[in-house]
Chain A
Amino acid sequence: MTHILSILIFFPALAGVLGFVVDKRSAKAYGIAVASVEFVLSLWLWVGFDNVNAGMQFTEFSPIISQFGISYNLGVDGISLFIVIMATLITLLGIISLRDDTPNMKNMIISLLFLEMTMVGVFVALDAIIFYLFWELSLVPMLYIIGAWGGPTRVYAAVKFFLYTFAGSLIMLVGLLAMAYLYHLDNGVWTFNILDWYQLHLTTDQQFWLFLAFFAGFAIKVPMFPFHTWLPHAHGQAPTIGSVILAAVLLKMGTYGFVRFSLPILPDASVYFTPFMMVLSIIMVVFTAMVAFAQKDMKQVIAYSSVSHMGVIMLGVFAMNAEGLGGSVFLMLSHGIVSGALFMLVGVIYERTGTKIMSEFGGLAAVMPVYATVFGVMLMASVGLPLTIGFVGEFLVLLGFYKVSVIGTIIAGSTIIIGSVYMLALFKKSFFGPVTHKKNLSLKDLDGRELTALLPLVAIVVWLGIYPKPVLDPIDNSVKALLVQMEEHAELQTTKDAIIISKKEAE
């Protein structure tokens, strides 16, 4: 178990390299095999995970450039553990859902395996340079996936995705370098170890600028309003598998960045910027939900709804209490599962009809009842119905953020209304009413391949909706530890007051 994180990172990459010599026809089977092993490994990680320990586990450390304190430093805690498992699961199901006649299947599989490496790497890295490496590397396979298998304007979309996020991450890199430099000024040694950075005392002024630098990288990735416009283009052009992974995992890198870097390293700035983040998040929630309602294209509805839900996650990150932050981490998972499934479902109908425009559908529930049922379950999870995975996180985030701002919570809480408006409108347009297009009468319902990819997600949606405890407990532990760390570390009394770890202790 000592090197399990390294294995998790490099096994898919190695398998990807070997994939070049695999026979074309067996490429998909090879991909499924590798992704399955990887998924089982990540589950093994969970088995070996100590639920009581709130700190980093399975840590690995070996110096790379000791003069500059750059080291190969890995570890997981309750916050990152489940994101890693989700990433491997979504990759596996994504590969399963690939059509057998996908052009250049071999290249697709290799890209996905490389992408898997970078995704796992980002979430387990404890060294800022390693983090940054995987962060940027993740762009390359995704750029390739959009550019090679995308729609008509795929090059525009891919380049926009790449340049936009890359520009943001460069500013973030400056922030990371500045952190190391400030650490050097303070302690006389260089380090890029994130956990060491947690101990660094920064003035509020330094925190202010560093927060903005990190913000540039993370906010574009999330993507926060008004930096979100690359996402509809990317989703619009990306193949199904690209959208699934983009929505389910890659966006979480942004919110994870806020949790891992901004909050613990810059507690004062985080509290200082809370109103600003709140306003942006609320605009995200409401504005993009309304834009989603205006869409004619089913995939664009899901794309904008994705942004809207990311806004709820961002609110939770800045709730500064265990309920909100824990809920936000849980919501990252549930959003991954649900949006991943929804993009797969859009892919299903696109593969059959060659269109994503909702007016081309209508009455599908009668023709494809199983498809409609699975879609319905995911719809309910998306609108946050209790006993589905979507409710737990959304409820906790809103509950937690209520402590920060009542008005903000009520406005953001309108997500449960306008979220159901666009989702139900989508469902009505596509699935209800008479079958308006004759050609849709002969559509086939979900086949074995699609069911294999979707049913596990349905099971998770129900399981974690009814019994979220196995996932919530480790998250809760680590989130509390993070808040304690923030509070101890904060320079200002107002910051300490804003952070609520436990009401009972406070009383």
Chain B
Amino acid sequence: MEKFVYIALFAPFVGALFAGLFFARSPKTHLVGIVNSSLIAVAFVSAVTLALHVAEHGAVHVQMMTWIAVGDLNIPFGFLVDEVSVTMMLVVTLVSTIVHIYSTGYMNHDKGYNRFFSYLSAFVFSMMILVMSDNFAGLFIGWEGVGVCSWLLIGFWYHKEDKTFEENPSISPSWAANEAFIMNRIADLGMLVGIFLIYWNVGSLQYDVVFKALPHLADGLLVAIAMALFIGAMGKSAQFPLHTWLTDAMEGPTPVSALIHAATMVTAGVFLVIRANPLFSLDAVHGVSMFIASLGAFVAFYAASMALSARDIKRIVALSTLSQLGYMFAAAGLGAYWIALFHLAAHAFFKALLFLGAGNVMHAMDDELDIFKMGGMKKVMRGSYIYMGIASFALAGLPIMAGFYSKDAIIETAFNDGSFIIWGILVITAGMTAFYSFRQVFFTFHGEERYKALGFHPHDMYKYVLVAMAPLAVLAISFGWFMDNFHEFITKNLPDYEMSHETHHLAPYLGTIVIVLALIGICIAYIKYAGKGDKAWKRNEKKENSFIYKLVANQYYVPKFYDEFIVQPYTVASDKFWEMDKAIVDGTVDFIAKVIYVSGDVSRGMQNGNLSSYLNWMGVGALLLVLGAGISAFIG
């Protein structure tokens, strides 16, 4: 089985090198797209093989070689394929394969086609390291690796200029890439501190050793470790207040958004909490876990509220991702790790589908993102319409769809835990989710054909691309049906979460509330946005100028706040420090040099070649010496 571990891990790496080393400077060639897609598919097949093996024989653990060994520290390149990591591997490689195939169509006309595949495969490799590592340092390699790939891919169209937006002072792919990288770095510092804490108190960074040692550690220490690690998770998973980078990251190509900023990388934080469940489920860190759950619920609502009025098709999807990440954290924080993982997987499928569908729309509309300019496109883009419809049904959590099972389980968990505030928020958010998802669908595909007046000629994506997206659609519908199998498989590794009898009894009613709310949301969206002719949607300038609307449209002024109270003060302080460095620090040095120079200049007057003046100075000198000797004799 070791063989498959290495194949799954290194096949994407080979792809990245293949595209990067041999084809980076050559003109676009479909060879790269085909080879890289196939290599990712190979990784997927290996992951499936491993999953079957793990289900039957348990985890596979390989150690490749030593990475860093100094003092007592010993970090190997070790890879652990157990129930948790193999689930992630399956999700990552499956979505990656589809996104790779999709990209051969989507990036077809791009100059940087080969470069794109190099980055994309490198990302998959980093992500595999992240999920497969058997220690925290290895996780950190993947953690930073996906960060860099995300930086490269968000900034893929680096040649674009900074533009001024309403909610952002200036934005461009390269700006967004830097923002994402730096914001993640802030969180990474927290993660590093967590790693240091673990090392100095446990003496190892291997998961098994650390988790075994946890019960022996002091409570305060455990809380500190949990907090530090969660700060790391907050960055990658874009939790408040480190969330602004995610919506800006939509500057990258859409396949990137689908793969990195919806299905895989942003769920790394959730994965970390699930992976470290022995830590987060300890009684001592219950407070931290509750904080995670509460923050998750807050973010779920917060992001959904911004999605209600967003106009940018990709930002809507990004905000819904943020909101769903909140759901996952809520589940993980409440101790339902397997449900969080289940929702993570389900979400990866339907959200990738939704994003790729949005990508088709963008592609058809010449990269236009404003849904106000679309409408009635279902005629010309039937395939994408169906896909986006399925994905939105799944996201809204309607029965038989994947999201129904996974999201409902999370809401039930909150109820079961007695956290009724979290439950309430999640239920309301579910209604909002249905509304904004279908608002987007109706705006794009129903109603008046607003795009016609603007001179667009949309056409649907290549057929083979639409076919390649089919597995995602199938999974978006059916993934939930396998909930029991998944439960049986995953609880060998993750703690089970049992609902109480009461909850079980109430579950159908609770589910009904959510469904009814979702249906209401969809109906409102339909009435408002899907009408034609007289009933067609019209812009309401007055409403758009209202305070609430502006507040939400500007992302609650958080980006503005960051710009004004962090970025600009930092810039000003840097300039001031530079001034200080020149004027004070260097000034002092120059002053000393000047004093010496001037004193030399002045005392040069003594050397005037006049014998009598020399004698005078000699007398003065002798007098001073005698005086000095006298004083020292007196004191001494």
Contact = CB atoms under 8 A, between A and B. Distances in A.
B175 A428 contact: yes
Contact of A413 (B68, B70, B161, B193): B193
Interface string B177-221: 010011001101100110111011001000000000000000000
Contacts of B188: 416
A414 interface: yes
A323 B71 contact: yes
A456 B144 CA distance: 24
Given A295-B578, A410-B193, A380 B148 contact: yes
Contacts of B197: 402
A416 B186 CA distance: 8
A503 interface: yes
Interface string A386-406: 110001100110111011000
A327 interface: yes
A436 to B, nearest CB: 9
Contacts of B148: 380, 385
B27 to A, nearest CB: 13
A416 B577 contact: no
A293 B182 CA distance: 14
B601 interface: no
> Interface residue tally of chain B, by bracket?
35 or more
A363 interface: yes
A366 interface: yes
A321 interface: yes
Given A380-B148, A432-B174, A386 B140 contact: yes
A103 interface: no
Given A385-B148, A398-B196, A410-B189, A434 B161 contact: yes
A295 B25 CA distance: 33
A221 interface: no
A416 B199 CA distance: 19
Given A294-B575, A476-B69, A386 B145 contact: yes
A487 B573 CA distance: 43
Interface residues of A, number: 71
A164 interface: yes
A424 B203 contact: no
A472 B70 contact: yes
Nearest to B572: A294
A290 B175 contact: no
Interface string B133-177: 000010011001100100000010011111000000000101100
A468 interface: yes
Nearest to A421: B182
Interface stretch (B273-281, B405-413, B433-441, B585-593): B585-593
A296 to B, nearest CB: 10
A229 B585 contact: yes
Contacts of A428: 174-175, 178
A321 B203 CA distance: 14
Nearest to B155: A432
Given A291-B574, A387-B145, A363 B159 contact: yes
Interface string A490-507: 000000000001111000
Contact of A425 (B69, B178, B195, B581): B178
B125 to A, nearest CB: 11
Contacts of A480: 71
B578 A469 contact: no
A413 B192 contact: yes
A433 interface: yes
B193 A424 contact: no
A59 to B, nearest CB: 26
B589 A504 contact: no
Given A417-B182, A425-B178, A504 B203 contact: yes
Interface string B582-607: 10011011000100000000000000
Given A402-B200, A431-B158, A291 B578 contact: yes
Contacts of B162: 433
A399 B73 contact: yes
A433 B72 contact: no
B570 interface: yes
A305 to B, nearest CB: 13
Contact of B66 (A226, A287, A469, A501): A469
A382 interface: no
A299 to B, nearest CB: 15
A369 B574 contact: no
A204 interface: no
A404 to B, nearest CB: 11
A290 B178 contact: no
Nearest to B183: A417
Given A290-B570, A291-B577, A433-B172, A392 B68 contact: yes
B65 interface: yes
B70 A396 contact: yes
Nearest to A468: B68
B141 A416 contact: no
Given A363-B159, A428-B175, A476-B69, A409 B578 contact: no
Given A294-B575, A326-B70, A432-B155, A369 B181 contact: no
Contacts of A503: 72, 200, 203
Nearest to B587: A229
Contacts of B172: 432-433
A321 B71 contact: yes
A473 B588 CA distance: 44
A476 B196 contact: no
B577 A294 contact: yes
A395 B143 CA distance: 14
Given A409-B196, A432-B158, A433-B162, A293 B69 contact: no
Nearest to B576: A294
A326 B71 contact: yes
Contacts of A473: 69
B24 interface: yes
Contacts of A435: 159
A266 interface: no
A186 to B, nearest CB: 28
A472 B199 CA distance: 19
B66 to A, nearest CB: 6
A501 B71 CA distance: 7
A379 to B, nearest CB: 10
A407 to B, nearest CB: 11
Interface in A120-163: 160, 163
A287 B582 CA distance: 13
A468 B74 CA distance: 12
B200 A403 contact: yes
Given A290-B574, A369-B24, A402-B196, A322 B70 contact: yes
B571 interface: yes
Contacts of B574: 290-291, 293-294
A36 interface: no
A386 B141 contact: yes
Contacts of B196: 398-399, 402, 409
Interface string A281-304: 000000110110111000000000
A106 B571 CA distance: 45
Interface in B76-134: none
Cβ-closest 7 pairs across A and B: A322-B71, A432-B174, A229-B586, A294-B574, A402-B196, A294-B578, A386-B141
24 contacts: A163-B593, A226-B585, A288-B581, A291-B578, A293-B570, A293-B571, A294-B575, A322-B70, A326-B71, A366-B159, A369-B24, A395-B192, A399-B73, A409-B196, A417-B189, A424-B182, A428-B174, A428-B175, A432-B159, A432-B172, A433-B172, A468-B68, A503-B200, A504-B203
Interface of A: 160, 163-164, 225-226, 228-230, 287-288, 290-291, 293-295, 321-323, 326-327, 330, 363, 365-366, 369-370, 373, 380, 383, 385-387, 391-392, 395-396, 398-400, 402-403, 409-410, 413-414, 416-417, 420-421, 424-425, 428, 431-435, 466-469, 472-473, 475-476, 479-480, 501-504
Given A291-B574, A503-B203, 8 more contacts: A229-B582, A229-B589, A291-B581, A398-B192, A399-B195, A413-B193, A424-B182, A473-B69
